[in-house]
Chain A
Amino acid sequence: METAVPPPIINPEIKFTQIFINNEWVNSVSGRTFPTVNPVTEKVICHIQEGDKADVDKAVAAATAAFEIGSPWRRMDAAQRAILLHKLGDLIMRDQTYIASLESLDNGKPYKGAFNLDVPFGVKQVRYFAGWADKLTGKTIPVPGDYFCYTRAEPVGVVGAIAPWNFPFGIALQKIAPALAAGCVVVLKPSEQTSLTALYLASLIKEVGFPPGVVNIVPGYGPTAGAAICEHHDVDKVSFTGSTAVGKIIMAASGKSNLKGVSLELGGKSPNIVFADADLDYAALMSHHALFFNMGQCCVSGSRTYVQEEIYDEFVKKSIDYAKKRTIGDPFDLSVENGPQIDSTQFKKILGLIESGKQQGAKLECGGGRHGDKGYFIENTVFSNVTDDMCIAKEEIFGPVQQILKFKTIDDVIKRANNTQYGLAAAVFTKDIDKAFAVAHSVKAGTVWVNSYLAADPSAPFGGFKMSGIGREGGEDGIREFCEIKTVVVKVPQKNS
């Protein structure tokens, strides 16, 4: 629900640029810093301490110490962990305008969305998982023989969390909140493109009063700081959100080091299937948002829109209309829907894939190039007559480029929908009850939307089939991934039922 949005802070003060370990701010061991860039102006916002292996070692040592048996964190009542998490939620809401402004500055996403969606999404994560803290129960189990058997759901330990740049604040909390609720300790590496809101979050964690070492934040690059976390022998679990290519490296690193648990939220090329009996206007609008939300930088983007042939032409027309109307510009302008892409690497990659679409024979209906001449803005682009074998139909673009494909029958489209290495999300638009359930149950995707898209909540498990990832975030299933089950078996003189 949208509420009136307070004016943004156009030049938010950058308060924290150091590494956060044991509730203290420190410089990198190497002395190096790295720049973070404003994707609107292409200019450097500020320099941040660049964490590397040595800094990760310090952070992991701090987290390990905070997790020792007998430590304040291990001795704390679960209900008290919940109270701390709720306080964190309160502080985030107190600073909602500042955090949203900082996120817009660093990421380029429209401030209105950062205020109404990104920050509240983070708070919902915190409050939802706070509620689980004192509800992570073990069981007692009637094993055969004269035994009393029970299980404990213990915290898994030191969690290495590696967050992406598309929803920096929200996804950092999507990992931190359940980890803390379950009693774990955290070393977070924010994405190098977007470290600022994570570092501000660190200051709130300190303000709440989490014991030192419970949360540590090390900004830096993937191949250095990220790799150090994934290879570390004292990190018990890694939770990563990012590209499938890097996901493979992380899993290999776990295998090479200490077999740490790995959960991966990776890429997608999600099929969005629109049947002829769907509410056409509604389906076209939802499909538009399914692709263009967050400048197309969503792992669950509906980036293969399959439309049944009877309504294909009309659907394409409506989609072009929506794309043309979608405003692009200064993210601090409340009327703007799209900001820039995150950086020049992504910017170039997207333009390259648009070119491939043109060359491989897809029909460019609108957009197709850079928007303006400064900042990483790309025009809202729609391709029709896309076929499954084209690059734009197979590879994750992560930009404002909509692919509309044609299909005939339900059996055919389900096969085509599943013909991908990915499996993160899918959607179906239809009024027919049989079609809805048939698609929902046959498509290999972690989340299936029926007559909707992007509806998500921390209470529902989220994650990928196949190469879209391993494990689930959200819900009871999600928080249980931060628990290690211990079974205790006690001999008793005589067992009775």
Chain B
Amino acid sequence: MLRVVKHVQGPFLLRNAACLSTAALPLPKTDVQPHFKKIFINNEWHDAVSGKTFPTINPSTGEKICDVAEGGKPDIDLAVKAARDAFKLGSPWRIMDASERGVLLNRLADLIERDRVYLASLETLDNGKPYQMSYFADVALTVKCLRYYAGWADKIQGKVIPIEGNHLCWTRHEPVGVCGQIIPWNFPLLMQAWKLGPALAAGNTIVMKLAEQTPLTGLYVAQLAVEAGFPAGVLNVVPGYGPTAGAALSEHMDVDKVAFTGSTEVGHLVAQAAAHSNLKRTTLELGGKSPNIVFADADIAHAVETSHFGVFFNMGQCCCAGTRIFVEGKIYDEFVERSVERAKMRNVGDPFDPNNEQGPQIDESQFKKVLEYINIGKNEGAKLLIGGNRSGDKGYFIQPTIFANVKDQMKFAREEIFGPVQQILRFDKMDDLWERANDSMYGLAASVFTKDLDKAMMFAQNVRAGTVWINMYDNFDAAAPFGGYKMSGHGREKGEYALEEYTEVKCVMVKVPQKNS
């Protein structure tokens, strides 16, 4: 509810993120309390079978927010059974009109919109991202994603195919079945929506494991699903750890599909577990080291600002962050200088303070890893221009950091840092530019800044990346597909494409007395 509203302005709000509006930002609930801390199965709340709990930490302070039930294999087993029962032929979910699934998804979107201030505040508390981002980006995009997929529910169509002979042939696009979904901590609500949307639209049932760092908003949404009217067992949500709950889901013999978003390292484990168990279908959204190419003919102010956003957004905790910036020699020094000036303006601190663009990193482990990479960068000879240290002395804050004179083969230029560290490389000729951009085991996103039509077209064509942005960055419209080439993953989320990942095609052929065209 809007009590008092405050106008917030700043260049970062008015550009870049797909849905940001210039509407006023309602005050956050700075004293926000989590309501749901247990395991959600069959529309009910349960303690863990083991009775164990784990703490979720506020990364701004390093202090515990609360304890949450710790789901392990026994809880996953119960959740999978509930999801399987809800998927049985003749169940309320299986006999429901497709259009009614759309109605339920729209209702869930309405409820999230109703509780937007609460959810945005809770997200900021648990994740540390600035509240204006939680409000204007995370929750808003979550609502749009669910509405987008609500519209698809009754439009998932098979075909009728003119095969040879006296036959009638058609395909049914059926739900895959019980889907395990393992989501990360960087955009908890939004990643949940990216997975729920297509899976539910297509008629699947779900067992979702939330990231242990950020379980709170995902559990609240589970209760909203009850309020929206989803039948029991359709959605089940289990907070817990990867090696226990996540592994149990990936290895489960009665789970038809697993979708994972997280690190490439864990992606390997999920894929192997799927293969060793029951060959469940997989989609993987993994890491990236996305190239961002800035030509001399680009609008340099726009390129600087957008490249800054592309790497620093969400404390650098974006799989698609533009972390290898190739700047044409002619404008290199100017670009670097302007980037440093921009980074100086980036305020780091309490995410509930609208003057701060940057909150803390998610936890101590990530915090240490980022600082480690900064050290590696220094040792490898890159030139540190600004930042490079912890910010403040409480919580996991890191200063916005920029390195220039970065070389392609430096370890820290090839590995994913996942922090507020901008790396600026140089190019002087185009001959090997595409090779350099593609010289990575990753292939998640890429961008180019140029006014030249041919350069733009060639880059879009030649770069091996799932999303290519031209004179822009970080657009996450629900209708556009997103996913990785190479070791950034396989499969696509969002758009119509995601539906394929949650659909099993059945072909039916019927003998008929006489086929006529």
Chain A residues with a Cβ under 8 A of chain B: 79, 82-83, 86, 124, 127-128, 130-135, 137, 148, 433-434, 437-438, 441-442, 457, 459, 476, 490, 492-496
Contact = CB atoms under 8 A, between A and B. Distances in A.
A122 to B, nearest CB: 14
Contacts of B106: 86
In order of increasing CB-CB distance, the 10 nearest A-B pairs are: A131-B151, A492-B457, A437-B512, A434-B513, A134-B479, A493-B454, A459-B154, A438-B513, A493-B458, A148-B457
A132 B99 CA distance: 13
Contacts of B496: 135, 137
A220 B151 CA distance: 35
B155 interface: yes
B173 to A, nearest CB: 14
Contact of A128 (B99, B168, B453, B512): B99
Contacts of A495: 461
B409 interface: no
B104 interface: no
Nearest to B462: A496
9 contacts: A130-B151, A131-B102, A131-B150, A135-B155, A135-B496, A433-B510, A442-B516, A493-B458, A494-B458
Interface string B502-514: 0000000010111
Contact of B512 (A124, A131, A434): A434
A132 B516 contact: no
A433 B106 CA distance: 39
Contact of B155 (A132, A433, A434, A496): A132
A135 B151 contact: yes
A82 B151 CA distance: 9
Given A79-B148, A127-B102, A137-B496, 16 more contacts: A79-B147, A127-B103, A130-B151, A131-B152, A135-B151, A135-B152, A135-B496, A148-B457, A437-B168, A438-B514, A441-B512, A441-B516, A442-B516, A459-B154, A490-B453, A492-B458
Contacts of B151: 82, 130-135
Given A86-B106, A135-B152, A437 B510 contact: yes
Contacts of A494: 458
B157 interface: yes
Contacts of A128: 99, 154
Contact of B99 (A86, A127, A137, A441): A127
Contacts of A437: 168, 510, 512-513
Given A86-B106, A148-B461, A438-B512, A492 B454 contact: yes
B116 interface: no
A459 B155 contact: yes
A82 B516 contact: no
B59 to A, nearest CB: 33
A128 B155 CA distance: 9
Nearest to A492: B457
B495 to A, nearest CB: 9
Contacts of B453: 490
B144 interface: yes
A132 B461 CA distance: 29
A496 B152 contact: no
